[in-house]
Structure 1
Amino acid sequence: MARNALPVENSGTSPLCLFVEPYGEDYWLAPGEAFTVKPDGEGIDVWFSTYVSQDCIAVWLYEDGDPARVVLDHKVVDANGISLDCGHQRPRRPAGSEPI
C-alpha cells in the first residue's frame, strides 16, 4: 500500500458510507468490502484526517498535513484497483421519502 493512500474496510454488518470532503462525495461499502482513498496525482505528500460516526467515515485529504491546502483531486478504488464513481452502491431512498 502506498504511503499516500488510505485503506477503508467495512468490518461491520451493515452498509458503511465513506464521505470524501470537501465536496461530500459518497461511496458505500458493503460488509466485508474494502476501498482505498488516494490523491489523483503523483508526488503529493497527502495526510488524511478522518471523522467517524455511526455508519459513516468522513475523510479529508491535506497536502503536507496543512488544513489550508485541501487536496481536491482524489480517487476511490475498490480492492481490484477499479476507480469508483460518487454514489457507488448508494442505498435507494425508501418509498415516500423523496423531497417535494
Structure 2
Amino acid sequence: MPKIMFTNPHSDKSFAVWVEPWARDYWLLPGDVITLEFREANRVDQMPEKVDFDVAWHDDGVVVWTASLTEVAVQDRSGTELECGHQRPMES
C-alpha cells in the first residue's frame, strides 16, 4: 500500500498536514508522527510522473495530493486512525 510519513521532531510549533482534494487537516505537535496510506486498488494515474503523493510545503505545514480515488487513512505512530481536525489549534 502506498504510504508517506510526516514527523515534527525539531520544532516547538505545530505543523499542519492538509490532505487534498478532501480538504482534511491534521496537526502535529512537536514530536508527533502521522502516516497517510491508501489501498493500491484505489490508485489512479492522475498525478504527474505517476507518483503516489505530491507534497507542497508552506510556512505552517504541507499540502498533500494523493493518487487515490478514495480518502486515505491517516494514522498516528501507534496505528490509531485520526479524524479530520486532529489537534487543530483554537482560533484566537
Superposition TM-score, scaled by structure 1 size: 0.75
8 Å Cα contact 1:50-1:58 kept in structure 2: yes
Task: Give unmatched runs, 5+ long, in structure 2.
Answer: 44-50
Equivalence for 1:80 = 78
State which drifts further: 76-85 or 45-54. 45-54
- 1:55 CA drift (Å): 1.6
Aligned length: 84
Give the greater-gyration-radius structure (CA): 1
Higher RCO (C-alpha 8 Å, min separation 6)? 2
Q: What do you get for the CA RMSD once the two structures are aligned? A: 1.7
Residue of structure 1 aligned with 2:55, choices 33, 50, 54: 50
The sequence identity of aligned pairs, in percent, is: 32
Deviations 1:2-48 (A, max 9, x none): 6x110000132200011000021000000111000011x35455711
The one-letter amino acid paired with 1:20 is: V
Whose helix proportion is higher, 1 or 2? 2
